[in-house]
Structure 1
Amino acid sequence: MRTISFHIDAFDQYNEWSRTNIKLFERIQRLIAETSRNPFTGIGKPEPLKGGLRGYWSRRINDEHRLVYKVTEEQLIIISCNSHYK
């Protein structure tokens, strides 16, 4: 299993969801768990990003928000868990 780490902004977003919207927070937790096991398949419609975000992937938290991440053999790095590609 990969080690999970957060970009500082993503960690702030993650904590904000825990305080403001428990339903979305639980969805994010499920997405992170699934992504650590299967980074390119599964729930949330994973898709590779293009352009300036090439090398990163996203999964849908809901219609508005995305989980943006990068994967290595040993690590899952959460870049954002908020608005669409910000």
Structure 2
Amino acid sequence: MKKVVFLKHSFEDFNYWAETDLKTYRKIINLIRDISRSPFSGIGKPEHLKYQYKGCWSRRIDNIHRLIYQATDDEIIIVACRYHYQ
């Protein structure tokens, strides 16, 4: 499994879910576990992004929110885990 690193803003998003919606928070944890095992396939409908998020991937948290991340050889960088590509 790869090391998971949060950007400052994405960690704030993550903590927001921990404080406001435990169901969504748990879903994000499950997505991150799956991403660390297999970054480009698995649950949450992985999608390769382009334009401003070129090089990133996203997975669905729910109908509104997405988990956006980058995968390198050594780590998974969580870019955002709240809203839809903002």
Give the strand-richer structure, 1 or 2.
1
Q: Which runs of 5+ in 1 are unaligned?
A: none
Paired residue for 2:50? Answer: 50
Q: Provide TM-score, normalisation by structure 2.
A: 0.98
Paired residue for 2:22? Answer: 22
Spell out structure 1 runs of 4+ moving beyond 3 A.
none
Distance (whole Å) between structure 1 residues aligned to residue 75 and residue 60 of structure 2:
20
Sequence identity, in percent? 44
Q: Provide TM-score, normalisation by structure 1.
A: 0.98
Distance (whole Å) between structure 1 residues aligned to residue 56 and residue 42 of structure 2:
16
Distance (whole Å) between structure 1 residues aligned to residue 12 and residue 6 of structure 2:
9
